[in-house]
Amino acid sequence: MNVLTLGSGGREHALAWKLAQSPKVDKVWVAPGNAGTAIDAENVPIPENDFPALIKFCKENDVSLVVVGPEAPLSAGAVDAFAEAGIRAFGPSKKAARIEGSKIFCKEVLNKALVPTARANVFDSAEDAYRYIDESEPGGFVIKADGLAAGKGVAVASTKAEAKEAVKRIAEDRAFGDAGSRFLIEERLSGQEASVLAITDGRTIVTLQPAQDHKAAYDGDKGPNTGGMGAYCPASLVDDEKLAWIEEKVLLPTVVEMNRIDAKFKGVLYAGLMMTQQGPRVLEYNARFGDPECQPLLSRLKTDLVDIVEATVDEKLDLLEPLEWDPRPAVCVVMASEGYPGSYKKGAPISGLEEAAKLPDVKVFHAGTKLVDGVVVANGGRVLDVVALGDTVADAKRKAYEAVSKISWEGSWSRTDIADKEINAVRNKRVE
């Protein structure tokens, strides 16, 4: 069969690479893709939100399965549009994707399903929010714009003044446009974070191994939040017991509640969790694979991704054999452009990709790259995702950074401490 993947980041490169390994697949297309997907698949120059053009392309090229990577086309109704045209597509419907697209909707689902999450209040007026902050106990607040804001619509404030400043930015200055016309003020929780992703067809859930992202830009989790500067999988922070608890108390009740409100969720349900002293709490849901968590996850997944995708679309996940994983841990280091997550330059040629590709157990996924006259150039903030498998997490980290050291372009940089938390946790356990 022919498969189309929508998107152009590292997650989509990993998806296309994995889909192409399936014996069931003749050809994988990526729209619009990047320089990496042009190597492991074939690019189609159609924007990911131009559904009529994508449907036309699918019909003309005998594409029978579409895998949607990013949240924007899901929230815009990509899966509904393909389904209407008779093309099977993997991902939640527009209605179900609201679990990511509206933080207020997500909070309502969590509360109705009795899933542990931060207490929150909803506002549509800055004045009301200022009054609420004034009348609250001092301490932390988290302000969240309701709508999609490319991961930037959340402000964690330590003081009332900071909280008010965030409300002003979101609700008065409209830094995120209409996404900020309604917003939440949440209690601030503390603890380590983990990503637990499950594939669901609305009836069955298949939980993937836990992963951890590194959202802060700089070493030691310092600096501004980014889309993610690295990830590893599995994350021992979520042991088997916690994972079973999360399935029972978080994922399953959410899937049931989504059915109850006639918004059946099919696709990847990604729980962003904080491990607090009181137990795991959901910070947010995403309606898709995490980026960069997807890259180490798929690097370890041995099961045919097409089997998983088809079973989800056809609502037959209960018949899927248990997932098979490479037992080796995977570490993913993101290489970024100077200036990211602020403004950055594009167009610098990247060197060392061939050398890095020769290293064993290493795969370089492209996130923001473009081919210009046969040369791969940096074309984004997050540019490359270097993944390595190792016998231990420390070994995987060493191999990933060895590959990183071969690659450069003007202004390239990465964090140097990806997976250190896991390495220290494993080391401490051994000492105990």
3-state DSSP call for residue 85?
coil
Q: Is 12 in the site for ligand GLY (CB under 6 A)?
A: no
Q: Which does 77 bind (CB under 5 to 8 A by kind): ligand GLY, ligand AMP, none?
A: none
Q: Is 422 in the site for ligand GLY (CB under 6 A)?
A: no
Q: Is 58 in the site for ligand AMP (CB under 6 A)?
A: no
What angle, rounded to 10 degrees, do the helices at 160-167 and 126-135 form?
Answer: 170
Which of 212, 286, 299, 312 is in the footprint of ligand GLY by CB under 6 A?
A: 286
Instruction: Compute the least distance from the CB of residue 9 to ligand GLY, in Å.
Output: 10
Q: Is 213 in the site for ligand GLY (CB under 6 A)?
A: yes
Q: Which residue in this structure is represented by tokens 């097409």? A: 306
Q: Is 288 in the site for ligand AMP (CB under 6 A)?
A: no
Q: How many residues bind ligand GLY (CB under 6 A)?
A: 7
Closer to ligand GLY by Cβ: residue 10 or 163: 10
User: What's the rounded Cα separation, in Å, for the pair 154 and 170?
Assistant: 9
Which of 284, 291, 293, 385 is in the footprint of ligand AMP by CB under 6 A?
A: 284
Closer to ligand AMP by Cβ: residue 30 or 148: 148
3-state DSSP call for residue 418?
coil
Per CB under 6 A, the segment of 2-10, 132-140, 154-162, 287-295 that binds ligand GLY is 287-295
Tell me the CA end-to-end span of the chain in Å, nearest whole number.
52
Q: Is 228 in the site for ligand GLY (CB under 6 A)?
A: yes
Q: How far is CA 76 from CA 31, 32, 89, 258, 312, in A?
A: 16, 17, 14, 18, 20
Instruction: Compute the least distance from the CB of residue 120 to ligand AMP, in Å.
Output: 8
Q: Is 153 in the site for ligand GLY (CB under 6 A)?
A: no
Q: Is 231 in the site for ligand AMP (CB under 6 A)?
A: no
Q: Which residue in this structure is represented by tokens 């980290």? A: 397
User: What's the rounded Cα separation, in Å, for the pair 387 and 129?
Assistant: 43
- Taking CB under 6 A as the criterion, which residues in 303-342 touch ligand AMP? none
Instruction: Compute the least distance from the CB of residue 37 to ligand AMP, in Å.
Output: 26
Instruction: Compute the least distance from the CB of residue 104 to ligand AMP, in Å.
Output: 12
Q: Is 152 in the site for ligand AMP (CB under 6 A)?
A: no
How do strand 154-157 and strand 88-90 relate by DSSP bridges? Answer: unpaired
Which of 3, 35, 41, 142 is in the footprint of ligand AMP by CB under 6 A?
A: 142
Q: Which does 422 bind (CB under 5 to 8 A by kind): ligand GLY, ligand AMP, none?
A: none
* The three-state (H, E, C) secondary structure of 99-136, written as one string: HHHCHHHHHHHHHHCCCCECCEEEECCHHHHHHHHHHC
Closer to ligand AMP by Cβ: residue 70 or 202: 70
Sheet of 120-123, strand order: 120-123, 183-187, 141-145, 154-157
User: What's the rounded Cα separation, in Å, for the pair 323 and 325?
Assistant: 7
Which of 50, 108, 128, 193 is in the footprint of ligand AMP by CB under 6 A?
A: 193
Q: Work out the number of other CB atoms within 10 angstroms of the CB of residue 319.
A: 10
* Bond before 327 cis per omega within 30 degrees: no
Per CB under 6 A, the segment of 185-193, 239-247, 254-262, 373-381 that binds ligand AMP is 185-193
Closer to ligand GLY by Cβ: residue 151 or 253: 151
Q: Is 272 in the site for ligand AMP (CB under 6 A)?
A: yes
277, two tokens = 């002293």
Which of 12, 146, 186, 422 is in the footprint of ligand AMP by CB under 6 A?
A: 186
58-64: long-range contacts (C-beta < 8 A, 24 or more apart)? 58/4, 58/82, 58/85, 58/87, 59/85, 59/87, 61/2, 61/29, 62/2, 63/2, 63/3, 63/4, 63/29, 63/87, 64/1, 64/2, 64/3, 64/88
3-state DSSP call for residue 199?
strand
Instruction: Compute the least distance from the CB of residue 119 to ligand AMP, in Å.
Output: 9
Q: Which residues contact 251 (CB under 8 A, 6 or more apart)?
A: 196, 198, 200, 205, 207, 269, 271
Q: Is 179 in the site for ligand AMP (CB under 6 A)?
A: no
Closer to ligand GLY by Cβ: residue 88 or 288: 288
What beta strand segments (E) does 33-181 contain?
A: 42-43, 63-68, 88-90, 120-123, 141-145, 154-157
Which of 31, 154, 185, 235 is in the footprint of ligand AMP by CB under 6 A?
A: 154
Q: Which does 46 bind (CB under 5 to 8 A by kind): ligand AMP, ligand GLY, none?
A: none
Q: Which residues bind ligand GLY (CB under 6 A)?
A: 151, 213, 228, 286, 290-291, 293
Instruction: List interacting residues with ligand AMP (CB under 6 A).
Output: 118, 142, 144, 154, 156, 186, 188-189, 193, 215, 272, 283-284
